[in-house]
Amino acid sequence: MEDPLAGRGALPCPHCPQQALTAFLETPAGKLVSTVLDLDFAIQAGIVVALDCIPYPEFLLLRQLADERANYEKEQWQKQAKGNR
């Protein structure tokens, strides 16, 4: 979170979530996550990506992302259904 009293040239605080995310995305694991998100975007946009072009670790993360997305959508649907009663 930014300090409201800090000037424009102030550095982010040492516990800044954006700094932590940026640092993580520069690691090998972070690059893998970025690649999977890019692949997911391409697939969601209708771009055909052959399965033999996706390394197995990326495939596993894509599957996990799809499962998490499905769970999230189910939860949102259930919340909406409870709100409409």
What Rg value do the Cα atoms of the chain yield, rounded?
19
Count Cβ atoms within 10 A of the Cβ of residue 33 and give its class: 0-12 exposed, 13-18 middle, 19 or more buried.
Answer: middle
> Would you kindly state where each structural domain of the chain is located, as residue ranges?
17-83
pTM summary value:
0.71
Q: How would you write the pLDDT of the chain (85 residues) with one tens digit per residue?
A: 456 666 777 777 778 888 899 999 999 999 999 999 999 999 999 999 999 999 999 999 999 999 999 999 999 999 999 887 7
